[in-house]
Amino acid sequence: MNSIPLPQVDPVAVPAPGWLLRVLLLVTFFLHILPMNWVLGGSILAVASRARGRRGSPHHAELARKIGKSLPVAVAAAVTLGVAPLLFVQTLWGRLFFPASVTMAWLWFAVIPILILAYYGTYRVAMAGEKAQGTGLVAALSALFFLTIAFFYVNNMSAMLRPDSVAARHMADPRGWALNVADPTFWPRFLHFVLGAVAVAGLGVAGLGVLRRKAEPEFAAFAMRHGALWFVAATMANIVAGFAWILLLPREVMLRFMGGSALATALLAVGAVLGLAALLVMTLAISAKQPERSVRLGFLVLIATLVVMVLERDQVRAGFLERMAFEPSPWVAPQWGVIGIFLVLLVAALATIGWMIWPRQDRGLP
Amino acid sequence: MNYPIWDLPASGLLIAGVAILHVFISHFAVGGGLFLVLTERRARRDGDAALLAYVRWHSRFFILLTLVLGAITGVGIWFTITLVHPAATSALINTFVWGWAIEWTFFATEIAAAMVYYYGWDRLSPRTHLAVGWIYFAAAWLSLVIINGILSFMLTPGEWLTTRGFWDGFFNPTYWPSLVARSFAAIGLAGIYALFTAVSLDDGPLKEKIARWAGLGWVVPMAIALPLSLVWYLAAAAGAGAPVAETLGAASARTTDVLGALFSRSVATGHPFAQTALRVALLGAAFTLVAVLFIALVRKRAYGRVLTGAILVAGFAVIGGGEWAREDLRKPYVIGSHMFVSGIRLPAARGTPRPPTGFEDRFAMDALNRSGVLPAALWAHLPADWTAEAGGPAEEEAGHELFRIECSACHTLDGYNAVRPLVSGQSSATLEGLLGRLAKPVNAAGEATSWDDPDLRLETWRGRRMPPFVGTAAEKRALAVYLARLGGGEIAPPPSGVADGAALFEANCAMCHGDSGEWPIARVIRGRDARWLYDALGRLPQLKDVMPPFEGTEEERRALADWLAAVKGGAR
């Protein structure tokens, strides 16, 4: 595959070993997808609940209000935690990421104004408070905008793995409007992430029920059951999407998951088992009299599943990189001193944030 | 070249738009944090419930502006530079990824603190709430401390050029003046925004209190301190080799000369955009000073949206003009003495750590001059065999591709920084000659040097801050053919090898002295004979300091003098 126009490596040394960047990428990406899934899936669920609340279901109306109130903070967390993995992706694979971005330049740029609008939309809804009338359209538009951002992200992240088709699209039209939707893996991949977000948000709603079971027992019972239902429905559909994604991968990449790579195969197996376990636990939660324990267990299994899924996604990328014979820069000169300062400051930041958000006795004081 | 080019003419403008908007808000996010926490402390200390209510209300405006528009446009700058300038982004990331990672820890703390502060008015004790406010301000300012290192690096990379060391690039020659200037701007903007939100207060005494507190305490000192810090900044930039005097059309980088050049009518040199930008910034600061004094001392309680809105616009002009001028100072580099705006790199400075063996920088100008830009460009549409027919459509197409690669980052055809009027009526021979003398490497003393000189300066054609043309002779000709077609000029045949006065005039003089040039030659040399002209060609810079020396052979000098005397001078 020598004809693939792969940019030359930079004549400035990479300031960290590849393994460190990759570990940080995976850790921060995992942290990013938690709030990101809540934003995307939660905003979709809230739109559905709002529609049913309007038809006279007070629990649905309350759920939509609660989700709406949480979204500004969730967007802030998703954006903040999303900056780091994008930085590490560019450090590791900028030579793939930059061309893919340029091919869809206007659309990639559009993520920024769309995000600003969606974000302001969440504030509009959250600040409307109890009388959330008139914000239905805003909430629906915000959800649609978040979905659009996901669409563009999946386009770019899947395109960067196909530098051959990126080059073909750029040569055909360099104005920056080309999407990667003709890639056979695109739609199952997009669907897999959107359904995943809905499932995670469903479990989040069930978790909200667990948290509110003392203060609002009726609403809590509703939220646990309703969230579990969303989780189960979305996950069942997602099993189909996930397998479609694997089967539509280029043969060399797919075979890694079928024994070609012990790690990829094991991850797929563990991920499937965990996903099915979560599905089973949450199915039980739908009909259980005391669903809290199922929801708690489901939550733990889901976290484990997400960890494995992040690693699987990394294996998909590894397969594509191997396929195109991607060679990382041979010139690595780690800036250990600066890396050390970063790690110390990271711990300090986590401690400071922890101190600030820790529930404290101050509450209720003027 | 190493990366695909987004077909967006003058794409730098998109970066400028996003960046100026972001800077205007993000500096407020820093200074505004300090304003919130100091004002809250003062209100609590004095038991001033009205002032406390105002801070609380102001904090909502603050959050909505900084957390959404401010934070997301910051990410937006990053998105935009990756699209417009992947090569520079890659170089910056390889140098500063850990700087950004450190900044990210502050950014995360800042965002979390802002949320806790905003939602914590009723939930936290006053003591904790103030502590969170201080954490917010510290984190916001520290993120400026980090980003300032990367931003100032791009103008003056300093020792990094030879050491490639993180700290050498970070604490570069303009780091400290830039940090001080940005901190002052942040404080001043906090006061400006506070006046803006105080307009809607009904409480007269409170409104007056805020006018004095925000106006006299925050804006006025900064409207004086900021221009002074800019003087320091320009001096540091000039000391590090940035072309301050040249860009601003001043005799030197001294403040009096700069101000004289900016506000006198007779300045004909320098970069007009940079001059206008700096003029706008200084006038904006002056207006801000006067208007805020007027509010604080005269209007007191009766200031409204129009006046505070005008001050906000003036503040925007200060920030926007200052950033614009800084960007223009950096031109034609995207990273000073390392990479041109076109993405073409200079050869590594002497003494730079060598890459591993077998690694050759295909996108350094020496390599490109040897083997050509078009063969190296991975993403170019290259017509087959374009060198076969001189002046043919294939050559013109190759020239168009070269224009896209080397010129389109700054020039549009007819819009911003339009190229068509610049080349209008010029022949391909004239343009080819011009392309050959856009920029020369000189040292700090102004003597010719090589491109890998660690103390490199750039001497540009008439101070226009253009990068040198990079590529082979055939490529230079192809670009000239394309530009000549664009401007409706003649396509000259390739040089014959015989010293031909007319061709020499076309290539070396016609850009300025041709019939459509600024100084048509006939007027200048009427009545002069060939002997005088031969003598004058030997001392052009002495005749007029903007003239470059004639660099042809003895035979060419004689041929040109004879031709000028015969055709243009009207006497022998």
Nearest residue of chain B to residue A87 (CA atoms): B97
Confidence (pTM)? 0.93
Contacts of B361 in chain A (CB under 8 A): 8, 11
Taking only the tens place, the pLDDT of each residue in B48-79 is 999 999 999 999 999 999 999 999 999 999 99
* Residue ranges of E strands in B258-300: none
Task: Tell me how far apart the alpha carbons of residues A352 and B165 are, in angstroms, rounded to a whole number.
Answer: 30
Say whether pLDDT at B325 is over 70.
Answer: yes
Residues near A240 by beta carbon (within 8 Å), at least 6 away in sequence: none
- pLDDT at residue B154, rounded to an integer: 97
- On whether any CB of chain B is under 8 Å from the CB of A94, the answer is yes
Binary contact (A123, B123; C-beta < 8 A): no
Binary contact (B83, A109; C-beta < 8 A): yes
Task: Tell me how far apart the alpha carbons of residues B314 and A149 are, in angstroms, rounded to a whole number.
Answer: 35
- On whether any CB of chain A is under 8 Å from the CB of B137, the answer is no
Cis amide leading into B332 (omega within 30): yes
Binary contact (B97, A79; C-beta < 8 A): no
Q: For residue B439, what are the β-bridge partners? A: B460
Residues 158-177, chain B: which have Cβ within 8 Å of A?
A: 164, 166
- pLDDT at residue B359, rounded to an integer: 82
Confidence of residue B104 (pLDDT cuts 50, 70, 90): very high
Contact B343, B88 (CB under 8 A): yes
Binary contact (B86, A171; C-beta < 8 A): no
- On whether any CB of chain A is under 8 Å from the CB of B348, the answer is yes
For residue B357, what are the CA distances in angstroms to A276, B177, B452? Answer: 52, 40, 19
Contacts of A331 in chain B (CB under 8 A): 355-356, 359
Fold of B495-572: Cytochrome Bc1 Complex; Chain D, domain 2 (1.10.760)
CATH number, domain B362-494: 1.10.760
Binary contact (B75, A112; C-beta < 8 A): yes
Task: Tell me how far apart the alpha carbons of residues B433 and B511 are, in angstroms, rounded to a whole number.
Answer: 9
Q: How far apart are the first and last CA of chain A?
A: 68
Task: Tell me how far apart the alpha carbons of residues B340 and B466 are, in angstroms, rounded to a whole number.
Answer: 9
* Residue ranges of E strands in B424-556: 439-442, 457-460
Confidence of residue B171 (pLDDT cuts 50, 70, 90): very high
Task: Tell me how far apart the alpha carbons of residues A274 and A282 are, in angstroms, rounded to a whole number.
Answer: 12
Say whether pLDDT at B317 is over 60.
Answer: yes
Q: Which of A90, A331, A341 sits opposite B355 (nearest CB)?
A: A331
Binary contact (B5, A9; C-beta < 8 A): no
Say whether pLDDT at B570 is over 60.
Answer: no
Nearest residue to A102 (alpha-carbon basis) of A184, A8, A170:
A170
Residue B413: half-sphere exposure toward Cβ, Cα within 13 Å: 11
Q: Which residue type does B40 have? A: E
Nearest residue to B199 (alpha-carbon basis) of B318, B300, B121:
B300
Nearest residue to A196 (alpha-carbon basis) of A244, A243, A247, A237:
A237
Question: A interface mutation test: which of B379, B382, B452 has the most A CBs within 10 A?
Answer: B379
Binary contact (A13, B164; C-beta < 8 A): yes
Which residue did the predictor score with more confidence, A246 or B360? A246
Nearest residue to B436 (alpha-carbon basis) of B471, B389, B393:
B471
- pLDDT at residue B572, rounded to an integer: 41
Sequential DSSP letters for B66-87: IIIIIHHHHHHHHHHHHHH-HH
Interface size A-B, in CB pairs within 8 Å, comes to 203
Taking only the tens place, the pLDDT of each residue in B493-546 is 766 666 788 888 888 888 888 877 778 888 778 888 888 888 888 888 888 777
- pLDDT at residue B267, rounded to an integer: 61
Residue A129 in tokens: 């408070």
Task: Tell me how far apart the alpha carbons of residues B47 and B10 are, in angstroms, rounded to a whole number.
Answer: 55
- On whether any CB of chain B is under 8 Å from the CB of A290, the answer is no
Structural domain spans, chain B:
12-334, 362-494, 495-572
Say whether pLDDT at B557 is over 50.
Answer: yes
Q: Which of B82, B99, B164 sits opposite A12 (nearest CB)?
A: B164
Contact B348, A11 (CB under 8 A): yes
Sequential DSSP letters for B342-388: TSPBPPPPTTPPPPPTT---TTBHHHHHHH-HHHH-TT----TTTTS
Sequential DSSP letters for B302-338: ---HHHHHHHHHHHHHHHHHHHHHHHHHHTTEEETTT
- On whether any CB of chain B is under 8 Å from the CB of A354, the answer is no
Q: For residue B460, what are the β-bridge partners? A: B439
Binary contact (A83, B361; C-beta < 8 A): no
Burial class (CB in 10 A: 0-12, 13-18, 19+), B204: exposed
Contacts of B29 in chain A (CB under 8 A): none
- On whether any CB of chain A is under 8 Å from the CB of B228, the answer is no
Q: What is the CA radius of gyration of chain A?
A: 22
- On whether any CB of chain A is under 8 Å from the CB of B109, the answer is yes
Task: Tell me how far apart the alpha carbons of residues A70 and A46 are, in angstroms, rounded to a whole number.
Answer: 11
Alpha-helix runs per DSSP H in chain A: 18-54, 58-103, 105-128, 136-159, 163-172, 186-211, 217-248, 251-255, 262-287, 292-323, 336-357
Q: Is B500 left (phi over 0), alpha (psi -120 to 50) or beta?
A: beta
Average confidence (pLDDT) over B2-28 = 92
For residue B122, what are the CA distances in angstroms to A122, A355, B128, B277, B317? Answer: 22, 18, 11, 45, 38
Taking only the tens place, the pLDDT of each residue in B291-312 is 999 999 998 888 989 999 999 9
Task: Tell me how far apart the alpha carbons of residues B248 and B250 are, in angstroms, rounded to a whole number.
Answer: 5
- On whether any CB of chain B is under 8 Å from the CB of A120, the answer is yes
Taking only the tens place, the pLDDT of each residue in B278-288 is 999 999 999 99
Contacts of A116 in chain B (CB under 8 A): 68-69, 72-73
Contact B152, B45 (CB under 8 A): no
Nearest residue to B346 (alpha-carbon basis) of B157, B97, B549, B149:
B157
Q: Which of B4, B102, B128 sits opposite A99 (nearest CB)?
A: B4
Average confidence (pLDDT) over B245-262 = 88
Contacts of A108 in chain B (CB under 8 A): 79, 83
- pLDDT at residue A132, rounded to an integer: 60
Nearest residue of chain A to residue B102 (CA atoms): A342
Task: Tell me how far apart the alpha carbons of residues A345 and B249 are, in angstroms, rounded to a whole number.
Answer: 45
Nearest residue to A241 (alpha-carbon basis) of A282, A303, A198:
A198
Residues 50-69, chain B: which have Cβ within 8 Å of A?
A: 64, 67-69
- pLDDT at residue B414, rounded to an integer: 93
Low-confidence ranges of chain A (pLDDT < 50): 1-2, 363-366
- As for the ipTM of the complex, it is 0.95
- pLDDT at residue B268, rounded to an integer: 66
Residue B144 in tokens: 């400026």
- pLDDT at residue B143, rounded to an integer: 97
Task: Tell me how far apart the alpha carbons of residues A267 and A309 are, in angstroms, rounded to a whole number.
Answer: 8
Structural domain spans, chain A:
15-180, 184-330
Contact A137, A129 (CB under 8 A): no
